[in-house]
Amino acid sequence: MAVYEHDVLVIGGGLAGMRAAIAAQQLGADVAMVSKVHPVRSHSNAAQGGINGPGVGEDGGPWEEHAFETTKASDYLGDQDAITVLAQDGGGEVLQMEHWGVVFSRKPDGRMAVRRFGGMGKARTFFVGAITGQAILHVLYEQLMHPARFQAMRMYEEWFVTSLIVDDGQCRGCVALNIRTGELHAITAKATIVCTGGLGRVYEPSTNALICTGDGIAQAYRVGAPIMDMEMVQIHPTTLKGTGVLITEGARGEGAYLLNKDGERFMQKYAPNMMELASRDVVSRAEQTEIDEGRDVDGCVFLDMRHLGEQLIKERLEEIYEIARDLVNIDIAKELLPILPGVHYIMGGIKTDVDGLTPVPGLYSAGEAACVSVHGANRVGANSLLDTLVFGRRAAEHAVPWLKGKVFRPIPESVVEKDRAMIRGILDRPMDGDRVARIRRDMGVSMSANVGIFRTPERLNKQVEELKALRARYEKVGVEHKGKVFNTDLLFHLELGYMLDCAEMITKSAIERKESRGAHTRLDYPDRNDAEWLKHIVLTKQPDGSEKMSYLPVTITQWQPQERKY
Amino acid sequence: MKVKLKVKRTDPEKGITGYSQYTLDMHDSATLLDALISAREYEDGSLALRCSCRSAICGSCAMRVDKRARLACRAKVIAITGGDEEHEILVEPMGNMPVIKDLVIDQESFWTKIRQVDPYLQPAGPVPEGEYRVPNEAMLDLTHTMNCIMCGGCVSDCTVLEVDKNFIAPAALAKAYRFAGDPRDGHTVERLQKLSEYGGIWDCTRCNMCVEVCPKGVAPMNRILQLREMAIEAGITNNTGARHTAIFTKSIVDGGRLNEVWMVPGSVGMFNLPRIMTELPGALKMLRAGKLPLAQVIPPGAPGSHKMKGMDRVRNVVRKSAMLKPKKAEVTD
Amino acid sequence: MAMKYAFWPGCVSKGAAPELYIATNRVARELGIELVELDQATCTGAGVIQEQNPELGDALNARTFAMAQQLGLPLMNICSTCQGIESMVQDKLAKNPEYLAKVNEILAEEGLHYEPGLEVKNFLWILVEDFGLDNLKKAVKRPLTGARIGPFYGCYILRPSQLLGKEEHPDRDHYLEMVIEAVGATAVDYEGAKKCCGFPILTINRENSLKQAGNHVHEAQDLGADALVSPCPLCHLNLDAQQPAAKSVTHFDIELPIIHLPQMIGLALGIDPKEMRMDHHVVSTKKLLDKLAQPVPA
């Protein structure tokens, strides 16, 4: 059993992780990356519609505009110092991607084209067809394949992190399982950057990939890092009927309509100015209201792209065209697409400052796993990619100078033993008739039913009980397969543990926030209540294992909260 | 609907291979991936496969389905079986790459080949303050190639790779096009030179297998053809492949039909006697069988070479077809 | 049944595989299919001209199509490669009206014009779709009962399937087996049937090319094939003419006759093998013919 030692350990190979790894390496650090899937399999792929580019030419617009729109969309829960950093640094990141080779769509004059996204006052979103995330993810991996980087960097590919190591108050890397051999190792580092993405699979259905199981958030929580804004779960307005697959906001950006069963553009009633391009929480609530009031067909409303024309659809929305054709056999150029709101993104996560640093020295986080907070109560479209790049880079740029010359005591091999015993315990458990998959499904379905768009104390309290029962089942459930090589049965068991942690944090925070703000809608407290709730809810695990709930004030610099209308 | 699967299994720890059969009850719109996940989660926890996004963007779930590489998440059961519930779907790991366990293959050789083509933008000159100004058509063209999700399907089923592990193979060559065809890249000629070497663009047989199996419309072989055209245009013609194209084209332009006799000497080089000699026994056998067309013994272009009727009109088409060529994309100021 | 086609014989049937040209004409006569040969049409480019000059390939093929249209006839080819290239060019021209207009400008100089929509079919497709397998079965005089024949398609008649009428004719990738069975023989099921013969890289990477050919022949022979049948003369060249060379590269003990599709049909129609030049093969067809000379097994 080897103990590996590095300067910087990046956990997660998506956009935030790769951006952090490249930045750390550019500063001369010895960098390692551990990821449970190959980097190009990461969920950053799924961001289809685009990336906001504040400050990039005239189209990107002044950074202040972007920052204000982000703040407003966050329902004023976003921290304005962080949002300012996002908006000021964002343009440079977009241009960096262009210079590294992202094939951004162009205007006739050869400059990068923009499309309009929800919650934005004007078109300022740069894009690559409907594969923006994929294109950026692959270009970052191209950069990692450069021999100078590739040979200098250690990739722990298809390694699954079982826990973070904290020693003497410092985060010192992780324990991880090599999926191909089944062996556990300690991968130690002076700085650890958690870029493990979101937790969408806590809900069923969800737009998220099967790997989005909140691992990093739960691991950070377990070592005492504060977790913030967990009640803020973004419900995306357009997910495909029956599959939960995401249909990009870019479709509405290109002019698609939302229709109810009567063919009415119902957004007129809810957001007469911005219509379909109102903020995501607003549109999702509108759809759910239409559905709940019976103006649906089979639980869905419709996305109408017929008027966009086949040429535009194939040039700019090809991915959507194919998904609709292949998964539901619908030609979006000629037919209506049945859609419904679906869980998409977690605004909350590991609390960090604007340099990705958590209160635990040596522990950083960036991307969806982190909560800086730039998204507040509702993330605006095309800000997620921007968030990963800006804060992935900043975390590395803070960590590398910080760790220079620091010497820590060696981590003994024995740190691995705790996890090894934990895994042995799972493998040794007899099958009791229950299954990990069944518990996961029951968790997902109950979370969707009880902690979804419209929340009530009854439903939330019911979910607390549900989760207790699920936790009890989880403590007893075993795995069928006992092998070492590629034992996904075991991995799903571990992931379910992370997801239950996250589900509990979401539910507790949702019970606590007694107002409606952004994605969090309480039917018993329908209004925003700045007097009492203009603050973050923070959950921190104490050394004795108990949990502390606390509050952090929202940082307001120049935009005072006002009523939010679209 | 009832779904029957026959899945190839490999247990590396016990060193055994075999097949598992599953009969599952699935909804009518289920994909093969839905069925496999259901088998794994509720029937057999030891079944290993990679999957993540369920929507053909992560590239994890490529496997052979009834003998052809496909993404399981893009394969609707009903489309495979044609609605025949007794059709047992044969599911195997991809080819041309070693198996780790069951449907999980080791993709290292795949990535090694990708890295062989210098897969990162190498701009020429200073980086502009803003974006590069390039035509949208060029970016759209490259976006088709960037659609590649590195699933490995084309490599799995590549017919050349089956006989020659050195072949760079379709995915990496498509990746190479993504740079060679990028007006922002400044090393096009060097790239094309390297790609014209052994194992590169000229070793593809143009069998279209990669075009057929690619789930993302990347059509890698067509990118290889574009690279060949670019290489010839860049004057990288001192190789068998480029000479083969040249002599072939010359023979059509000269006589209207292919001159088979002169293809070998014209391709390998007129003075490459050892290589030409390897063909002699075969040529004699063909001669004996009446398969050596004696009308073609005069090389294309030489006086008295064999010509089809109406060649003057063909030559006119050849001349005029130059106007059909598209304009090359470049960075503008 | 009046069946009449403009006939593009391709380069190889006029060059290294004259037996294909002869057998095609002979079989067509027997089946009552009238062929009007386009003796001024050029090579399709076989995908090779397209490597250097796709636009020239487009113009030359459009010219051939226009010649057929001038005769008011559908176009028949006897080569998988020709079929593939012709289908590909048809698709490109149909999807780019502006480009087609430029091509037509060039053709206009010799009084030709191409309008998308021409039917272009390999002899294999014509047999199944136009002539009909039931009619073929009726025409069989000497069923090839007992012969085990492996299909070898040739890449370009199979792939890319969406350009080759997969939607309208989903069974096109089974036609050879269907025809083999229709003439009374047994189709051998082997993986190589739909793979590449290796011919296009024969001069470029001889070893790879011959390994491909040798592997397929070996696999089929191992499964008890008496012969392979192909609708593509380029495959025929690599599998037959290069078979001795493939044998020495792969060290497989192979000797398997490779016959042209029309020859197989002709045998079943009772045509004398000599009339179809079945002695013009590098790998002798004698064993196959001897087997078929025996009385039909009950």
In order, the DSSP letters of A293-342 are: TT-SBTTBEEEE-GGG-HHHHHHHSHHHHHHHHHHH---TTTS-EEEEEE
Q: Is residue C197 part of a domain?
A: yes
Q: Which stretch of A22-26, B85-89, B272-276, C231-235 has the lowest confidence by average pLDDT?
A: B272-276
Point out which residues pair with B6 in neighbouring strands. Answer: B21, B90
The last residue of one of the domains, among C94, C122, C150, is C122
Q: How far is B270 from chain A (nearest CA, A)?
A: 40
H-only helix segments in B120-215: 136-146, 153-157, 169-180, 188-195, 209-213
With 0-12 / 13-18 / 19 or more C-beta atoms within 10 angstroms meaning exposed / middle / buried, residue A442 is middle
The beta-carbon neighbor of C52 closest among B212, B245, B257 is B245
Interface of A with B in 81-110 (CB under 8 A): 95, 98-101, 103-110
Mean pLDDT to the nearest integer, C160-169: 94
Q: Is B254 on the interface with A (CB under 8 A)?
A: no
C260 and C166, same domain (yes or no): yes
Complex ipTM above 0.90? yes
Which one of C196, C252, C259 would you mutate to disrupt binding with B, by most B Cβ within 10 Å of its Cβ? C196
| Residue A493's pLDDT band (cuts 50, 70, 90) | very high
**Contacts B43 to A, Cβ<8 Å:** none
Q: Is residue C128 part of a domain?
A: no
Interface of B with C in 259-288 (CB under 8 A): 259-260, 263-264, 267-268, 278, 281-282, 285-286
C117 and C156, same domain (yes or no): no
Q: Is B314 on the interface with C (CB under 8 A)?
A: yes
- 3-class SS at B10? strand
Q: Is C239 on the interface with B (CB under 8 A)?
A: no
**pLDDT at A1 > cutoff 70:** no
The Cα B332–Cα B324 span in angstroms is 23
Q: Is B293 on the interface with A (CB under 8 A)?
A: no
B13-54: pLDDT as tens digits? 999 999 999 999 999 889 999 999 999 999 999 999 999 999
Percent of chain A with pLDDT over 90: 90
The beta-carbon neighbor of C155 closest among B202, B207, B293 is B207
| Residue C298's pLDDT band (cuts 50, 70, 90) | low
Q: Is residue C298 part of a domain?
A: no
pTM, 2 dp: 0.95
**What residues contact C208, with CB distance under 8 A and at least 6 apart?**
B160, B163, B164, B167, B203, B205, C198, C201
| Residue A111's pLDDT band (cuts 50, 70, 90) | very high
Query: In CATH, what number is assigned to the domain containing residue C64?
Result: 1.20.1050.140
Task: Answer for the pair C249, B163: CB distance below 8 angstroms, yes or no.
Answer: no
B241-278: pLDDT as tens digits? 999 999 999 999 999 999 888 898 899 988 888 888 88
Are A46 and B120 within 8 A, CB to CB? no
C285 and C222, same domain (yes or no): yes
| Residue A64's pLDDT band (cuts 50, 70, 90) | very high
C112 and C146, same domain (yes or no): no
Q: Is A56 on the interface with B (CB under 8 A)?
A: yes
C139 and C209, same domain (yes or no): yes
Are A326 and B76 within 8 A, CB to CB? yes
The Cα B233–Cα A543 span in angstroms is 69
C283 and C138, same domain (yes or no): yes
From the list A557, A500, A416, the residue with the least C-alpha distance to A79 is A557
Q: How many CA atoms lie within 13 A of A49 on its CB side?
A: 25
Higher per-residue confidence, A564 vs B160: B160
Are C204 and B232 within 8 A, CB to CB? no
Give me the amino acid identity at A490: L
The Cα A186–Cα A5 span in angstroms is 9
From the list B95, B134, B255, B198, the residue with the least C-alpha distance to C206 is B198
The beta-carbon neighbor of A111 closest among B11, B57, B133 is B133
CA angle C122, C126, C129 (to 5 degrees): 130
Task: Answer for the pair B290, C277: CB distance below 8 angstroms, yes or no.
Answer: yes
A122-154: pLDDT as tens digits? 899 999 988 999 999 999 999 999 999 999 999
Point out which residues pair with B24 in neighbouring strands. Answer: B3
Mean pLDDT to the nearest integer, C142-150: 96
Q: Is residue C275 part of a domain?
A: yes
In the set A252, A459, A536, A564, the catalytic residue is A252
Domains of chain B by range and CATH? 2-105 (3.10.20.30), 108-233 (1.10.1060.10), 240-324 (no CATH)
The last residue of one of the domains, among C83, C102, C122, is C122
Question: In terms of DSSP bridges, do strands A170-178 and A349-351 run parallel, antiparallel, or are they unpaired?
Answer: unpaired
The Cα A386–Cα A370 span in angstroms is 13
| Residue A2's pLDDT band (cuts 50, 70, 90) | low
B143-154: pLDDT as tens digits? 999 999 999 999
- 3-class SS at A386? helix
| Sign, Cα dihedral of A109, A112, A113, A116 | negative
pLDDT value of position B165: 97
Task: Answer for the pair A419, A165: CB distance below 8 angstroms, yes or no.
Answer: no
The Cα A500–Cα A471 span in angstroms is 7
Query: What b/e sequence results for C59-85 when a residue is b if at least 16 CB atoms lie within 10 Å of its CB, and e otherwise?
Result: bbbbbbbbbbbeeebbbbbbbbbbbbb
Task: Answer for the pair C284, C257: CB distance below 8 angstroms, yes or no.
Answer: yes
CA angle A67, A385, A94 (to 5 degrees): 75
Interface of C with B in 252-281 (CB under 8 A): 277, 279-281
Are B132 and A243 within 8 A, CB to CB? no
**Contacts B146 to A, Cβ<8 Å:** 103, 128, 131, 134-135, 138
Q: Is residue C141 part of a domain?
A: yes
Q: Which two tokens stand for residue C279?
A: 């002695």
**pLDDT at A456 > cutoff 80:** yes
Q: Which residue on chain C is closest to B235 by alpha carbon?
A: C52
Are C55 and B290 within 8 A, CB to CB? no
| Residue B333's pLDDT band (cuts 50, 70, 90) | low
The residue segments making up the domain with residue C175 are 133-293
Task: Answer for the pair B203, C205: CB distance below 8 angstroms, yes or no.
Answer: yes
The last residue of one of the domains, among C87, C122, C157, is C122
Higher per-residue confidence, C120 vs B332: C120
Task: Answer for the pair B242, B201: CB distance below 8 angstroms, yes or no.
Answer: no
- 3-class SS at A226? coil
C275 and C143, same domain (yes or no): yes
**What residues contact C193, with CB distance under 8 A and at least 6 apart?**
C150, C151, C152, C153, C176, C216, C220
- Please, which chains are in contact with A (at least 3 CB pairs closer than 8 A)? B
Q: Is A236 a catalytic residue?
A: yes
Q: What letter does residue A410 receive in the DSSP assignment?
A: P
Percent of chain C with pLDDT over 70: 99
Are A99 and B332 within 8 A, CB to CB? no
Mean residue pLDDT across chain A: 95
In A116-169 the beta strands, taken as DSSP E runs, fall at 125-126, 154-157, 159-167
Q: Is residue C249 part of a domain?
A: yes
C184 and C204, same domain (yes or no): yes
pLDDT value of position C1: 53
Task: Answer for the pair A314, A321: CB distance below 8 angstroms, yes or no.
Answer: yes
B122-146: pLDDT as tens digits? 998 899 999 999 999 999 999 999 9
Angle at which helix A488-512 crosses helix A457-476, to 10 degrees, equals 150
Are A57 and B52 within 8 A, CB to CB? no
A200-244: pLDDT as tens digits? 999 998 999 999 999 999 999 999 999 999 999 999 999 999 888
The Cα A451–Cα B82 span in angstroms is 40
**Domain total of chain C:** 2
Q: Which residue on chain B is closest to C155 by alpha carbon?
A: B207
C93 and C139, same domain (yes or no): no
Q: Is A527 on the interface with B (CB under 8 A)?
A: no
Q: What letter does residue B329 receive in the DSSP assignment?
A: P
B161-180: pLDDT as tens digits? 999 999 999 999 999 999 99
Q: Is B187 on the interface with A (CB under 8 A)?
A: no
Q: What letter does residue B282 receive in the DSSP assignment?
A: H
Give the number of other CB atoms < 10 A from CB of residue A229.
30
Q: Which two tokens stand for residue A244?
A: 């939960």
Give the number of A-B residue pairs with CB atoms closer than 8 Å: 169
**What residues contact B203, with CB distance under 8 A and at least 6 apart?**
B160, B164, B167, B168, B241, C201, C204, C205, C208
pLDDT value of position B292: 83
Chains C and B touch, using 3 or more CB pairs below 8 Å: yes
- 3-class SS at B248? helix
Q: How far is B321 from chain C (nearest CA, A)?
A: 5
Q: Is C18 on the interface with B (CB under 8 A)?
A: yes
Q: Which two tokens stand for residue C180?
A: 């083999």
Q: Is A344 a catalytic residue?
A: no
The Cα A127–Cα A107 span in angstroms is 11
A402-444: pLDDT as tens digits? 999 999 999 988 899 999 999 999 999 999 899 999 999 999 9
In the set A236, A344, A398, A522, the catalytic residue is A236
Q: What is the 3-state secondary structure (H, E, C) of chain C?
A: CCEEEEEECCCHHHCCCHHHHHHHHHHHHHHCEEEEECCCCCCCCCCCHHHHCHHHHHHHHHHHHHHHHHHCCCEEECCHHHHHHHHHHHHHHHHCHHHHHHHHHHHHCCCCCCCCCCCEEEHHHHHHHHHHHHHHHHHCCCCCCCCEEEECCCHHHCCCHHHCCCCCCCCHHHHHHHHHHHCCCEECCCHHHHCCCCHHHCCCCHHHHHHHHHHHHHHHHHCCCCEEEECCHHHHHHHHHCHHHHHHHHCCCCCCCEEEHHHHHHHHCCCCHHHHCCCCCCCCCHHHHHHHHCCCCC
- 3-class SS at A537? strand
The beta-carbon neighbor of A41 closest among B29, B48, B59 is B59
Q: Which residue on chain C is closest to B316 by alpha carbon?
A: C106
C213-232: pLDDT as tens digits? 999 999 999 999 999 999 99
pLDDT value of position A14: 98
C142 and C273, same domain (yes or no): yes
Q: Is residue C80 part of a domain?
A: yes
**Contacts B207 to C, Cβ<8 Å:** 155, 159, 195-196
Q: Is residue C164 part of a domain?
A: yes
Query: In CATH, what number is assigned to the domain containing residue C154?
Result: 3.40.50.11810
Q: Which two tokens stand for residue A201?
A: 């699979």
Interface of B with A in 101-130 (CB under 8 A): 101-102, 104, 107, 114-115, 119-121, 123, 127-128, 130
C66 and C188, same domain (yes or no): no
C220 and C103, same domain (yes or no): no
Are B205 and C196 within 8 A, CB to CB? yes
End-to-end distance of chain A based on CA atoms, in angstroms? 58
**Contacts B212 to C, Cβ<8 Å:** 158-161
Mean pLDDT to the nearest integer, C144-164: 97
Integer angstrom CA distances of residue C24 from B153, C65, C274, C284: 38, 20, 13, 20
Are C47 and B308 within 8 A, CB to CB? no
Query: What b/e sequence results for A338-360 when a residue is b if at least 16 CB atoms lie within 10 Å of its CB, and e otherwise?
Result: bbbbbbbbbbbbbbbbbbbbbeb
CA angle A241, A246, A248 (to 5 degrees): 120
